[in-house]
Amino acid sequence: MAISRRSFLIGAGSIGVGAAAVGGYLLSRDGKILFDDKTYAMPITTDYTLPEQVDVAVIGGGLAGIITALELAQKGISVAVFEKGKVAAEQSSRAFGWVSSAGDLGPTLALSHQSKDFWHKINQRIEADTSYRMIGSTTFLLTDEQIAEQEQWIKQAKQEADIDAKIITGAKLKERLGGPTATDWKAAIYQETDGGLEPPIAGPTLAEYARSIGVKIYQDCAVRGIETSGGKVSAVVTEKGTVLCDAAVVAGGMWSRRFLGNLDISIPQLGLFSSVQSVKADKPGPLGVGSAGNAAWRQQVDGEYSVSYVSPMSPIVPDSFKLFPEFFGTLLDYFDTVDLDLSNDFIKTAQMATSWDNDEMTPFEKLRVFNIRADERKLEESVRHMEEEFQNMAGAKVTKKWGGYIDATPDSVPIIDEVDAIPGLFICTGFSGHGLAMIPAASKLTADLIAGDQPMVDPSHYALARFSA
């Protein structure tokens, strides 16, 4: 039900690279990106023999868990990641692929602005190609009111961070459009330092690097619960055995609420889902990633486009009723942009256990990878919007469709905190549709809190207690 307004406004620029730049591991001979229909992510090497003890156990092998582990390892802290299915196989591999700070202010800008520095340097830092490219972001504007709105955001954002956003018109505007359009766009907001990446590649590539510097990564190994000693975290209990640790991080995305609920810790988080598709056009369309009215896109490294729609779907599930008071205000704010959906997700979710003992099979073992159905109607609409707006996209052919969940909080700000009731238990979740843009900085903040280092940003903005307050 909740998603930040910035999620509907961001876009980006010209990719300017060929498929060979990705290194070949997910590309066919003709340069097309290949997907695994069940996991969607590039396979990685897994560890098998559980350690007796590590300093920190990370629960969840998505991008947040992997980068948190990477940051901890570089502090000299021993860490193991436990993933119930495959690394980056759910939310992290099914995202749209935008990395942008457009529209952000306050706590979200603090994370997204610093995360861009991570992405800009990461390929050189790990000496591997994550597929990230600094390709800019462009949101096209039609009215003076829209332009004034964006000028006001630029003014506010520049008081908080050294952003490079600007309003463009004329030749630069036409360049970003990439060809003739149905609408006579008046201007656009453009950020050159924004970028894009291929989600099925980025997470696994970072995971392989994390393993190379000592991080242990266990796939098909769900964590059932934790053990405490003196009230503090002392171990995690996995389906394959118990591992002693001094701290644990819950970075489970949409699964975080269910895992924490079994520990009597309630976090206000609901799942949205969104669908994306790859399309192939005969002629070049708009540059990079961007949005123009109801059309939203990202140029892929293989020359195709990822195309989606601007309104996510909120499946009605049992938690929708439990969390209605927390999300009511957000639902009103975005009533015209979020679709509610009563489907078999209600039955599927209602049948999942909400509590279990550490010696019992958990929902995480029964459903290793949550494969979300693609919303055919929405995807058809999104292709139609692209074809109607951009003449070069006419006749574009759909080559792939997929769906994924979004872990949303009522204020669209993630939860990054240590649980007061269980010292040593940390949370890193709730990225509300712009995880790729915020996770690197959020993961570093999580690692700083665990290590007791000076945090890079004020952690109070991301505290769990803000909701009860």
Residue type (1 letter), 376 = E
Does residue 312 fall inside a structural domain?
A: no
Residue-level pLDDT at 23: 33
Q: Say how many domains are in the chain.
A: 1
Identify the three-state secondary structure at position 432.
coil
- Can you give 17-82 as a three-state secondary structure string? CCHHHHCCCCECCCCCECCCCCCCCCCCCCCCCCCCECCEEEECCCHHHHHHHHHHHCCCCCEEEE
Mean pLDDT of the region 300-317: 72
Where is mean pLDDT largest: 8-17, 306-315, 412-421? Answer: 412-421
Does residue 308 fall inside a structural domain?
A: no
Give the CATH number, domain containing residue 63.
Answer: 3.50.50.60
| Residue-wise pLDDT tens digits, 139-171 | 999 999 999 999 999 999 999 999 999 999 999
Enclosing H/E stretch for 427: strand 425-429
Determine the Cα angle at 224 with ends 365 and 2, to 5°. Answer: 80
Cα 167 to Cα 4, 38, 104, 149, 163, distances in angstroms = 21, 42, 16, 11, 13
- Domain residues for 438? 5-269+355-370+409-468
CB 52 within 8 A of CB 40: no
Alpha carbon distance 269, 464 (integer Å): 11
CB-based burial of residue 277 (10 Å sphere; 0-12 exposed, 13-18 middle, 19+ buried)?
buried
Q: For 90-94, 135-139, 229-233, 393-397, which range has the lowest pLDDT when averaged over its residues? A: 90-94
Where residue 309 falls among pLDDT bands split at 50, 70, 90? confident
Residue-level pLDDT at 274: 81
Cβ contacts of 430 within 8 Å, gap of 6 or more: 256, 267, 269, 407, 408, 409, 413, 414, 415
Q: How many CB atoms lie within 10 A of CB 179?
A: 14
Does residue 446 fall inside a structural domain?
A: yes
Residue-level pLDDT at 27: 46
How far from each other are the two terminal CA atoms of the chain, in whole angstroms? 21
| Residue-wise pLDDT tens digits, 30-70 | 445 455 555 578 889 999 999 999 999 999 999 999 999 99
Does residue 341 fall inside a structural domain?
A: no
CA atoms in the 13 A half-sphere facing the CB of 381: 11
**Closest of 406, 235, 243 to residue 311, by C-alpha:** 406
Q: State both tokens at 22.
A: 């990705």
| Residue-wise pLDDT tens digits, 269-292 | 887 778 899 999 999 999 988 999
| Residue-wise pLDDT tens digits, 98-130 | 999 999 999 999 999 999 999 999 999 999 999
Does residue 143 fall inside a structural domain?
A: yes
Give this prediction's pTM: 0.87
Alpha carbon distance 454, 448 (integer Å): 6
Residue-level pLDDT at 445: 98
CB 138 within 8 A of CB 100: no
Does residue 227 fall inside a structural domain?
A: yes
Mean pLDDT of the region 414-426: 98
Q: Any idea what DSSP says for residue 456? A: S
Does residue 346 fall inside a structural domain?
A: no
Does residue 15 fall inside a structural domain?
A: yes
